[in-house]
Amino acid sequence: MSVVTTKDGIEIFYKDWGKGQPIVFSHGWPLSADDWDAQLMFFLNHGYRVIAHDRRGHGRSSQVADGHDMDHYADDLAAVTAHLDLRNAIHVGHSTGGGEVVHYLARHGESRVAKAAILCAVPPLMVKTAANPDGLPKEVFDDFQTQLAANRSQFYRDVASGPFYGFNRPGAKVSEAVIQNWWRQGMMGGAKAHYDGIVAFSQTDFTEDLKKITVPVLVMHSEDDQIVPYVASGPLSAKLLKNGTLKTYKGFPHGMPTTEAATVNADLLAFIKG
């Protein structure tokens, strides 16, 4: 199993397939590198080297009690890129992984990076504040933690079968296999990491990070995202970026890299080649 050991002794699992320009994928909460299957296979078949890691406390990485914050997430990503000596890389992040990518670029610089893309991502800030009136109330995320602590298995089942993939929408084509795969990935990780991760993805303010980034960034977000509301995320991130491009979708769900993989992959490929 391929792992890199971080400075604080945490083993980060990663996949590294193929040759060519590297594309590095950062997954959403509470999932793993497996959530990128559709993208890994697609870009591998298009001649790219694809890398995806499990965030600390998630998937096959160390299930530690501490360090579940954006600083550690970004540092762990930096450890993977340094270990593999990646150059001219494309970084792609979904949801919490989008925050991880943004914080990595701002915290560790862009010397190894050519472009980035953030999909349905949590920046600039998810929680509602005086300066962020369109964010979600903190009570929403407190309730997430309460449900996770009470019955994580049921909570994950409810998220996957409902808002994450838009399966709660009228006329939605529900996939039991997709629901089970989301649940499987979530239950592979550690409850403590996922509990703390809710604070990390909801209360981290990425505004200053976004302002620091100069490489081209594609911001992909759906207006029907029920997890990271469009009004407080995609358009605001694109405006804060020096070289950001907003790609808006109408009826896609938060989990669009899985349910709408053909469209998402084609748009990502066009951006990377452009």
pLDDT for residue 252: 98
How far apart are alpha carbons 59 and 57 in whole angstroms?
Answer: 7
Q: Compute φ and ψ for 115, nearest 5 degrees.
A: -150, 170
The stretch 60-89 carries a mean pLDDT of 98
Write out the two tokens for 157: 């089942």
Active-site option among 194, 225, 233, 237 = 225
Name the nearest CA neighbour of 222 among 135, 136, 162, 164.
164
Active-site option among 26, 32, 62, 95 = 95
Write out the two tokens for 108: 């560790």
How far apart are alpha carbons 125 and 62 in whole angstroms?
Answer: 27
Work out the mean pLDDT of the chain and round it to a whole number. Answer: 98
How far apart are alpha carbons 46 and 48 in whole angstroms?
Answer: 6
Question: pLDDT confidence of 25, banded at 50, 70, 90?
Answer: very high
Q: Is 142 a catalytic residue?
A: no
Tell me the residue type at 249: Y
Q: Is 76 a catalytic residue?
A: no
Question: pLDDT confidence of 55, banded at 50, 70, 90?
Answer: very high
How far apart are alpha carbons 24 and 116 in whole angstroms?
Answer: 9
pLDDT for residue 250: 96
What does the pLDDT look like over 145-193, one tens digit per residue? 999 999 999 999 999 999 999 999 999 999 999 999 999 999 999 999 9
CB neighbour class for 176 (10 Å; exposed up to 12, middle 13-18, buried from 19): exposed
Q: Is 225 a catalytic residue?
A: yes
Instruction: Specify the pTM.
Output: 0.98
Q: CA 192: distance to chain centroid?
A: 19
What does the pLDDT look like over 207-225, one tens digit per residue? 999 999 999 999 999 999 9
How far apart are alpha carbons 145 and 123 in whole angstroms?
Answer: 20
Write out the two tokens for 261: 């993989």
Q: Note whether 228 and 126 are within 8 A (CB).
A: yes
Active-site option among 58, 94, 194, 254 = 254
